[in-house]
């Protein structure tokens, strides 16, 4: 009978030890961290308060989508020159290809934070063009949307 209770007893004791350790470790978190302040002997410069920032109105998702599509359309000639043209010279089929651009824009600058390009399933596609599109520089931007915006756009070439 003693051996049947030994394992559950050891587990219970281990849980109690862990619970006490966690409690003691977390109970001291509310205290201020100790910071050593050294004086250089000179008075501290007065900090000037920052003026209140004007909050720009946030763009709607529809506006962001439209601006992103327009920015992407501006890069169409580059896409055709660098990616589509060379690929079609090697193999003319398929004649069109659809891609999905997943793009996020910075809230303050409107510049591209990240971009992904993938082929659309069930549609004719050219993996060689998709690979080339991923390697093109992310030089398009939109008006600052006021929040970190993300859009998914389907884009057909040529």
> Is 17 contained in some domain?
no
Tell me: pLDDT of 52 over 60. no
Global pTM value = 0.61
Q: What is the per-residue pLDDT across 113-144, written as a single tens digit (0 to 9) for each?
A: 999 999 998 888 889 999 999 998 878 889 99
Q: For 20, how many CA atoms within 13 A lie in the half-sphere containing its CB?
A: 6
Give me the helices (H) in the chain, please: 2-27, 61-74, 76-79, 85-90, 127-135
Quote the domain boundaries for residue 115.
61-157
Give how many domains the chain has, as a whole number.
Answer: 1
Confidence (pLDDT) at 39: 57
Structural element, H or E, at residue 151: strand 149-157
> Is 110 contained in some domain?
yes
> Is 92 contained in some domain?
yes
> Is 134 contained in some domain?
yes
30: which 2 tokens? 């509310």
> Is 149 contained in some domain?
yes
Percent of the chain having pLDDT more than 90? 42
> Is 86 contained in some domain?
yes
75: which 2 tokens? 């890069």
> Is 78 contained in some domain?
yes
> Is 103 contained in some domain?
yes
């Amino acid at each position: 009978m003693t051996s049947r209770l030994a394992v559950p007893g050891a587990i219970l004791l281990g849980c109690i030890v862990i619970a006490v350790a966690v409690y003691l470790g977390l109970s001291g978190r509310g205290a201020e961290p100790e910071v050593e302040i050294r004086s250089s002997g000179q008075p501290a410069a007065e900090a000037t308060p920052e003026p209140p920032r004007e909050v720009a109105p946030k763009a709607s998702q529809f506006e962001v989508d439209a601006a992103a599509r327009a920015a992407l359309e501006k890069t169409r000639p580059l896409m055709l020159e660098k990616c589509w043209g060379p690929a079609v010279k090697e193999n003319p089929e398929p004649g069109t290809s659809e891609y999905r651009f997943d793009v996020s824009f910075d809230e303050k600058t409107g510049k591209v934070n990240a971009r992904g390009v993938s082929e659309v399933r069930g549609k004719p596609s050219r993996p060689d063009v998709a690979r080339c599109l991923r390697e093109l520089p992310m030089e398009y931007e939109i008006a600052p949307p006021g929040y970190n915006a993300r859009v998914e756009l389907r884009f057909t070439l040529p």
